[in-house]
Amino acid sequence: MKAYLLGALFGIVLLAGIVVLYGVTGSTDHAELTELLAGAPPGAVAVGVVAVLVGLLFKAGGVPGHFWVPDAAEGSGGAVVALVTTVPKIGAMVAIYRIVDLLPDTLAWPLLVAVLATASMTLGNLAAYWQTDPRRLLGWSTVSQVGYMLVPVAVAGIVESALPALLLYLAGYTVTNLAAFAVTTALPEHRTLDSYRGVGRTHPYVFTEPS
């Protein structure tokens, strides 16, 4: 329910941001937006960009649209949570990068993205520290991972290696996140961190054992 209601809210915010940006530019063509946004009112552009970024961060599971992630990770089935914490994040982060890459210098967007990155990294890691359910811990971990992914986004168009760095991180995140949730799915009876103590010895080949 939390994911559904927040999804509706942030979906409206995302749509509102798109409407504002279209209203001040008259275009949705990426090739034209950099020039058109540079000549648009900075205040309107800022409102539109922030709304779009916030809406996409809900999809990615980053601050400030992160509230649904730990609950979904704890309460959903393993295959479902592995999907919703991986596939939407990849699409959302690529979309965020493309949007930030076309923003004109009239906005202090690197600072905005850096603040969002810091917030996601800090909150995700600190909240994960206190968790006892492994899936909920992994949920908070995915929140913090968005922060790390935003670091190359903050220098999009400034540092040549920004996009390769983001894509490399996304590839590594996808593999490790799917593997982590696969383990929790293979061992559904282990719902506390203490119950994982010694699992490496008792289940050395967990994916080859009969379920």
* Structural domain contains residue 209: no
> Residue 65 falls within a domain, yes or no?
yes
Q: In this predicted model, what pLDDT tens digit does every residue of 73-126 receive, in sequence order?
A: 998 888 899 999 999 999 999 999 999 999 988 889 999 999 999 999 999 999
User: Alpha-carbon distance 60 to 166, whole Å?
Assistant: 14
Question: What is the domain count for the chain?
Answer: 1
Structure tokens at 149: 């992914």
Asked if residue 209 has pLDDT above 80, the reply is: no
Distance CA 62, CA 79 (A): 21
Q: What is the pLDDT of residues 15-62, one digit of tens each?
A: 999 999 999 999 999 889 989 999 999 999 999 999 999 999 999 999
CA 122 to each of CA 59, 132, 157, 209: distance values in angstroms, whole numbers, following the listed order: 19, 19, 25, 38
Entry pTM: 0.91
10 Å Cβ neighbour count for 5? 11
Residue 122's Cβ-side half-sphere holds a number of Cα atoms within 13 Å equal to: 7
Residue 123 lies in a domain: yes
In a domain, 207, yes or no: no
CB 190 within 8 Å of CB 196: yes
Q: State the residue range of the domain holding 141.
A: 2-186
Query: pLDDT class for 188, splitting at 50, 70, 90?
Result: confident
Does residue 177 contact residue 86 with C-beta atoms inside 8 Å? yes
Q: What is the mean pLDDT of residues 190-200?
A: 86
* Predicted local distance difference test score (pLDDT) of residue 210: 47
| Predicted confidence (pLDDT) at residue 204 exceeds the cutoff of 80 | no
Tokens linked to 103: 């923003």
